[in-house]
């Protein structure tokens, strides 16, 4: 440890500064220098900068353990979580920008919430049933494999890194992005959801959905939670093609409902 301290680097942070509340002041990059500490994350570094050098610096953090999804930022041009990224892995000069594709709140802070709310509204990101939900009855069992798949998709923390790193989302504001497709896939897999393939088809298949993707695969690589976004993506694509050839009446939940 002593060795670490002796050879501590002086980190140079180039941080994007802009406050939409002061539109007269154009955006600029501001440099801050701090001494690197062992196991320092961007979360620690930014807090130190705000505490010691500039109290007006805006950035978001809540959980500091890659669960809340609020500290997504562009680190040297790549979307990443501030809390998860250690300065030891980065070069001496660290450039920080807010995530593109989202509304800017100020400096590094962006409004991902509005985007995600809009996305969930758009894909109807909830379980839809035609039959009335009966609170009193015992819940239908689900097999382990399906439950695991749904859980995997549900691990998304909605940090927005996949959207920010997506070339299509960067030029087309209405593109659903990997997280949107992941959300759809999660309900496609859920046997409790009774939507027909046809109704999914409308949401996923237009140019702002799965077929807007050009396959650069950045979403899969930048995802801080290592979600299987490529698998989700090819799953949704295959589903879309399958629905082209189906009558839309073959959803498992629908079949069950008809049997009952």
Provide the minimum distance between the beta carbon of 167 and another protein in the complex, in angstroms, as a whole number: 4
136's tokens: 């009193």
Closer to another protein by Cβ: residue 83 or 204: 204
Q: Which residue, 51 or 202, is less far from another protein as judged by CB?
A: 202
- Nearest CB to another protein, comparing residues 15 and 49: 15
14 strand-pairing partners: 31, 95
Nearer to another protein by Cβ, of 150 and 222: the residue is 222
Shortest distance in whole angstroms from residue 71 CB to another protein: 15
Concatenated DSSP letters of 115-174: HHHHHHHHHT-S---SSPP-TTSPPPP--HHHHHHHHHHHT-----HHHHT-HHHHH-TT
CA distance 46 to 34: 10
Q: Write down the least CB distance from residue 171 to another protein, Å.
A: 4
Min CB(30)–another protein separation in Å = 13
Neighbours of 237 (CB within 10 A): 17
| CA atoms within 13 Å, Cβ hemisphere of 173 | 6
CB of 90 to another protein, least distance (A): 6
Nearer to another protein by C-beta: 67 or 259? 67
Secondary structure of residue 209 in the 3-state scheme: coil
Q: Which of 226, 219, 211 is nearest to 167 (CA)?
A: 219
Distances (CA, A) of 151 to 87, 170, 183, 187, 193: 31, 29, 11, 11, 15
Minimal distance in Å, beta carbon 43 to another protein? 16
Output phi, psi for 11, to 5 deg. Answer: -85, 140
Query: Measured from the CB atom, is 13 or 102 closer to another protein?
Result: 102
Cα dihedral 63, 122, 203, 78 in deg (nearest 10): -40
Least distance to another protein from the beta carbon of 172, Å? Answer: 8
Nearer to another protein (CB atom), residue 6 or residue 259: 6
């Amino acid at each position: 440890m002593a060795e670490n301290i002796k050879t501590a680097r002086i980190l140079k942070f180039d941080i994007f500064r802009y406050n939409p509340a002061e539109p007269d002041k154009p955006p600029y990059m501001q440099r801050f220098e701090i001494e690197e500490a062992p196991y320092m994350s961007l979360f620690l570094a930014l807090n130190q900068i705000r505490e010691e050098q500039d109290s007006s610096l805006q950035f978001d953090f809540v959980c500091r353990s890659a669960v809340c999804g609020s500290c997504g930022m562009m680190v040297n041009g790549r979307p990443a979580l501030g809390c998860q990224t250690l300065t030891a892995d980065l070069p001496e000069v660290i450039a920080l920008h807010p995530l593109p594709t989202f509304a800017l709140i100020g400096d590094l802070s962006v409004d991902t919430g509005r985007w995600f709310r809009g996305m969930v509204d758009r894909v109807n990101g909830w379980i839809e049933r035609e039959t009335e939900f009966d609170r009193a009855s015992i819940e239908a069992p689900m097999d382990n494999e399906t439950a695991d798949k749904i859980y995997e998709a549900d691990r998304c923390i909605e940090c927005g890194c996949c959207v920010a790193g997506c070339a299509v989302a960067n030029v087309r504001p209405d593109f659903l992005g990997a997280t949107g497709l992941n959300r759809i896939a999660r309900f496609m897999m859920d046997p409790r959801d009774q939507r027909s393939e046809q109704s999914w088809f409308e949401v996923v298949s237009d140019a702002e959905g799965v077929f807007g993707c050009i396959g650069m695969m950045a979403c899969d690589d930048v995802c801080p939670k290592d979600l299987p976004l490529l698998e989700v993506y090819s799953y949704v694509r295959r589903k879309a093609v399958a629905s082209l050839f189906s009558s839309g009446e073959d959803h498992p939940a629908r079949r069950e409902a008809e049997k009952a």
